[in-house]
Homo-oligomer: A and B are copies of this chain.
Amino acid sequence: MNQTDTHNRLLDAAEHLFAEHGIAATSLRAIASEAPANLASIHYHFGSREALVEAVFARRLEPLNRERRRLLDREEAAADGPPPVEAIVNAFVAPAMRLAHDSGGGGEHFMCLMGRLYSEPGDLAYKITEQFEEVFLRFTAALSRSLPHLSRADLLWRFFFMVGSMSMPLMGRHVIPRRTDGLCDPSDVENNIKRLVAFLAAGLRAAAHNGGAP
């Protein structure tokens, strides 16, 4: 085992347990036990519990958001003028949905953890959402060009609605199949992406409730 072995095993174990039980409810001892590694090695590699939490997020977020930007780049280059709403939504949604079930890349637990993010104590959520700043700006700008009939507030609200919709197949991996007798299958990734895109594009395109003063 070289240096990075324990380091990565700790990240994997933390990611898994954070997603399963929540961040606050997961102890460093449980992480060390699952890794497996010694309790003190966590502080050796990361310095503190909080730094470990941030490392778990940082490992996945950068590639995820890079892929989102890459897809949006491609759509904006291909389109003559603003890309269709479906293409923008797909560029935002598809990378997250695929990462959520990419057992090879190891992100299978991460997106479930992402869904939990807003529920975690303290300033963690705000701190992590800072890593979305660039993606947030790029996608809201792209949507704004494709949906000029929306006021800025309406556009931003609908962006958040999109994030909320997407979080359901990511977070509800256990509850949704149980509540639907297996009819809704969160692991049916490509079909769920299409479902989300169809639903969200129509919602985003809807007339604003007040007539949509720009």
Which chain A residues have a beta carbon within 8 Å of chain B's beta carbons? Answer: 20-22, 24-25, 115-116, 118-122, 125-126, 129, 136, 152-154, 156-158, 160-169, 171-172, 174-176, 178-180, 183-184, 191-192, 194-210
Contact = CB atoms under 8 A, between A and B. Distances in A.
A21 B164 contact: no
Contacts of A207: 198
B119 A119 contact: yes
A73 to B, nearest CB: 23
Given A129-B175, A202-B206, A203-B203, A192 B116 contact: no
28 contacts: A22-B22, A22-B120, A22-B121, A116-B118, A118-B119, A118-B171, A118-B172, A119-B119, A129-B175, A153-B180, A153-B184, A156-B184, A157-B169, A160-B169, A161-B165, A161-B199, A164-B165, A164-B167, A164-B168, A165-B165, A194-B209, A195-B208, A198-B206, A198-B209, A199-B204, A199-B206, A200-B203, A201-B206
Given A116-B118, A167-B167, A194-B209, 8 more contacts: A21-B122, A22-B121, A119-B119, A126-B174, A156-B184, A161-B196, A164-B165, A198-B206
A120 B171 CA distance: 11
A59 to B, nearest CB: 20
A168 B158 contact: no
Contact of A178 (B126, B171, B178, B203): B126
A174 to B, nearest CB: 8
Contacts of A119: 22, 115-116, 118-120, 171
A192 B164 CA distance: 14
A118 B118 contact: no
